[in-house]
Amino acid sequence: MVASNSAVVLIVEDEPLIRFNILDVLEEVGHVALEAANADEALVVLKGRQDVDILFTDVNMAGSMDGLQLAKRVRAMRPNIGIIITSGMVRLDPMALPANTAFLPKPYMHDALISTINSLMT
C-alpha cells in the first residue's frame, strides 16, 4: 500500500521494536516519520516541529502522562492535527472520540494504519 499523500507522522510508542517497525513501514510508503518514546519526548518534538500532521500514540506508556492525556494536550495545542490512538489493553469507542481522531486497536495490520492516516489527511 502507498500513501495517497505524504504526511508527517509523530509515532509515540515506548516499545522500541514496535516504534522502529512502524517508522519503517510509514517511510516505505512515503510518509515522514518522527519518533518519541513517551509523551514528554513527543511534546518536545511538537514544540520544535510545526509540520506534524498526525500524532500516532499508544495509550499505555511510561512517563508523566499516558497516550490519552497526550492526545488531549495535543488537541488543545493544535486543534487541526490528526490523532490516532492505539492500544491492546483498552478499547475506546470511536464515536466518543473528538473530531479528526481515530482509535486503532492492537494488533493492527499496517494497511489499516496507513488507511487511517490517509483518511485523517483528507
Domains, the chain, ordered by start: 8-120 (3.40.50.2300)
Q: At what angle do helices 67-77 and 39-48 cross, to 10 degrees?
A: 20
Q: Which long-range contacts (CB under 8 A, 24 or more apart) does 31-34 make?
A: 31/3, 31/6, 31/7, 31/117, 32/6, 32/7, 32/8, 33/9, 34/8, 34/9, 34/10
The sheet carrying 8-12 orders its strands as 32-36, 8-12, 54-58, 82-87, 101-105
Is the pLDDT at 3 greater than 70? The verdict is no
Is the pLDDT at 2 greater than 90? The verdict is no
Q: What is the pLDDT of residues 25-42, one digit of tens each?
A: 999 999 999 999 999 999
Q: What is the pLDDT of residues 50-80, one digit of tens each?
A: 999 999 999 999 889 999 999 999 999 999 9
The overall average pLDDT reported for the chain is 92
Is the pLDDT at 97 greater than 70? The verdict is yes
Residue with cell 512517563: 63
CB contact at 8 A, 63 and 39: yes
Q: What pLDDT, on a 0 to 100 scale, did the predictor assign at position 55? A: 98
Q: What pLDDT, on a 0 to 100 scale, did the predictor assign at position 98? A: 75
